[in-house]
Amino acid sequence: MVIKLKEELMMNSFKTIDGRGASVHIAGGACITVQYVTNIIIHGINIHDCKKRGNAYVRDSPSHYGWRTASDGEAVSIFGGSHVWVDHCSLSNCDDGLVDAIRGSTAITISNNYLTHHNKVMLLGHSDSYTRDKNMQVTIAFNHFGEGLVQRMPRCRHGYFHVVNNDYTHWQMYAIGGSAAPTINSQGNRFLAPNDHVFKEVTKYEDAPQSKWKNWNWRCPLVEEPLQAMQKLQVCQLDRPRWWLL
């Protein structure tokens, strides 16, 4: 089953999209928006080839519809949402991010997903100047970041992010990035870096000189043999962020 949405699917609070037992694709049109709602589960859906839509009337509840400006084309857009779980989905090749969470969103878990063929994969935090995202808490666990990905797995701002037990097998720029002093706990992940030495950054500190990022609270894996893709890996707590080349 392929569902091509003319406009965004606006989630209401306390709702679940569950694709278990069927092959459900949301593709080729607008995709899913979680805006100022809470307690959302998106499970077992293939979401890909999402397009920019909007400048149209869109229903956002059973009793209301209104004018919406253009969307960015994310697979899952979380805007001021909370208690959101995206689990066991396949995500790829959208106009904007695969999962973006901004504008005070928090209590988000992104787990057991398969992500491929995309540039800016996951943005967590609206901007360096939007300090309300300091309350953001996100767990990214047991995902596969695979073929054709470029960057932002995730790209974090301000809040607290636990990136744990993910499998990174491809990137073209970097895996985990951040700015605006986020707290990132990267734990138990497997990183298989590209063969090109130019693109072997696991972590990247965006838009900040060393005088600023040296005081950020990042905890990263320590690779004892950096050129032998994760033959030895142990987790350490760092006093300051560092780059690891695998």
In the block, tokens 């990035």 appear at 177
Number of helices (H), then strands (E), belonging to the chain: the values are 1, 30
- Read off φ and ψ for residue 132, nearest 5 degrees: -60, -25
For the chain, first and last CA: distance in Å?
40
For residues 108 and 79, the answer to whether their CB atoms sit within 8 Å is no
- pTM value is 0.87
Q: For residue 220, what pLDDT is reported?
A: 66
**One CATH from 3.40.50.2000, 3.20.20.70, 3.40.50.300, 2.160.20.10 for 2-235:** 2.160.20.10
Alpha helices in the chain (DSSP H): 210-213
Q: Which residues are catalytic?
A: 152
The ranges assigned to domains in the chain are 2-235
Given a cut of 50, the residues of the chain with pLDDT beneath it are 223-246
Q: For residue 244, what pLDDT is reported?
A: 38
Chain centre to alpha carbon of residue 202: 16
For residues 159 and 106, the answer to whether their CB atoms sit within 8 Å is yes
Distance between CA atoms of residues 167 and 191, nearest Å: 7
Q: For residue 240, what pLDDT is reported?
A: 38
